[in-house]
A and B are shown apart, each in its own frame.
Chain A
Amino acid sequence: MPAPIRLRELIRTIRTARTQAEEREMIQKECAAIRSSFREEDNTYRCRNVAKLLYMHMLGYPAHFGQLECLKLIASQKFTDKRIGYLGAMLLLDERQDVHLLMTNCIKNDLNHSTQYVQGLALCTLGCMGSSEMCRDLAGEVEKLLKTSNSYLRKKAALCAVHVIRKVPELMEMFLPATKNLLNEKNHGVLHTSVVLLTEMCERSPDMLAHFRKVRQLSSSQLVPQLVRILKNLIMSGYSPEHDVSGISDPFLQVRILRLLRILGRNDDDSSEAMNDILAQVATNTETSKNVGNAILYETVLTIMDIKSESGLRVLAINILGRFLLNNDKNIRYVALTSLLKTVQTDHNAVQRHRSTIVDCLKDLDVSIKRRAMELSFALVNGNNVRGMMKELLYFLDSCEPEFKADCASGIFLAAEKYAPSKRWHIDTIMRVLTTAGSYVRDDAVPNLIQLITNSVEMHAYTVQRLYKAILGDYSQQPLVQVASWCIGEYGDLLVSGQCEEEEPIQVTEDEVLDILESVLISNMSASVTRGYALTAIMKLSTRFTCTVNRIKKVVSIYGSSIDVELQQRAVEYNALFKKYDHMRPALLERMPVMEKVTTNGPAEIVQTNGETETAVLETKPPPSGLQPANQANDLLDLLGGSDIPVIPTAPTSKPVSAGGELLDLLGDLNLTGSPVSAPAPQIAQPPFLLDGLTSQPLFNDIAAGIPSITAYNKNGLKIDFTFERSNTNPSVTVITIQASNSTELDMTDFVFQAAVPKTFQLQLLSPSSSVIPAFNSGTITQVIKVLNPQKQQLRMRIKLTYNHKGSAMQDLAEVNNFPPQSWQ
Chain B
Amino acid sequence: QIHFILLFSRQGKLRLQKWYTTLPDKEKKKIIREIVQIILSRNQKTSSFVDWKDLKLVYKRYASLYFCCAIEDQDNELLTLEVVHRYVELLDRYFGNVCELDIIFNFEKAYFILDEFIIGGEVQETSKKIAVKAIEDSDMLQETVEEYMNKPAF
A residues bordering B, Cβ < 8 Å? 6-8, 11-12, 15, 47-48, 51, 54-55, 58-60, 78-80, 83-84, 87, 94-96, 115, 117, 120, 123-124, 127-129, 152, 155-156, 159-160, 162-163, 166, 188-189, 192-193, 196, 242-243, 245, 250-253, 255, 259, 291-292, 294-295, 298-299, 302, 330-335, 365-369, 652
Contact = CB atoms under 8 A, between A and B. Distances in A.
* Contact residues on B (Cβ < 8 Å of other chain), bracket: 35 or more
B82 A243 contact: no
B47 A366 contact: yes
Interface in B38-58: 41, 43, 45-51
B120 to A, nearest CB: 4
Given A127-B119, A128-B20, A196-B122, A117 B76 contact: no
A331 B47 contact: yes
Contact of A162 (B41, B46, B104, B122): B122
Contact of B22 (A95, A127, A243, A332): A95
B119 A331 contact: no
Contact of B134 (A11, A79, A83, A120): A120
Interface stretch (B63-71, B90-98, B106-114): B106-114
A291 B81 contact: yes
28 contacts: A48-B147, A51-B108, A58-B15, A59-B14, A83-B108, A117-B134, A155-B124, A166-B120, A189-B124, A192-B123, A245-B82, A250-B126, A253-B126, A291-B81, A292-B78, A292-B82, A295-B76, A295-B82, A298-B78, A302-B76, A331-B48, A331-B49, A334-B77, A335-B77, A335-B78, A365-B45, A366-B47, A368-B49
B29 interface: yes
Given A47-B147, A253-B126, A331-B48, 19 more contacts: A6-B147, A7-B147, A8-B152, A54-B107, A58-B14, A95-B22, A96-B24, A124-B119, A128-B20, A155-B125, A159-B124, A162-B122, A192-B123, A242-B127, A250-B126, A255-B76, A295-B78, A295-B82, A299-B79
A287 to B, nearest CB: 14
Interface in B105-154: 105, 107-108, 111-112, 115, 119-120, 122-130, 134, 137-138, 141-144, 147-148, 152, 154
Contacts of B107: 54-55, 58
Contacts of A159: 119-120, 122, 124
B17 to A, nearest CB: 7
B126 A192 contact: yes
Given A54-B108, A127-B120, A366-B45, A117 B78 contact: no
A252 B123 contact: yes
B88 interface: no
A339 to B, nearest CB: 11
Contact of B126 (A15, A123, A156, A252): A252
Contact of A242 (B50, B77, B78, B128): B128
B46 A330 contact: yes
A298 B137 CA distance: 37
Given A87-B111, A252-B83, A331-B77, A368 B46 contact: yes
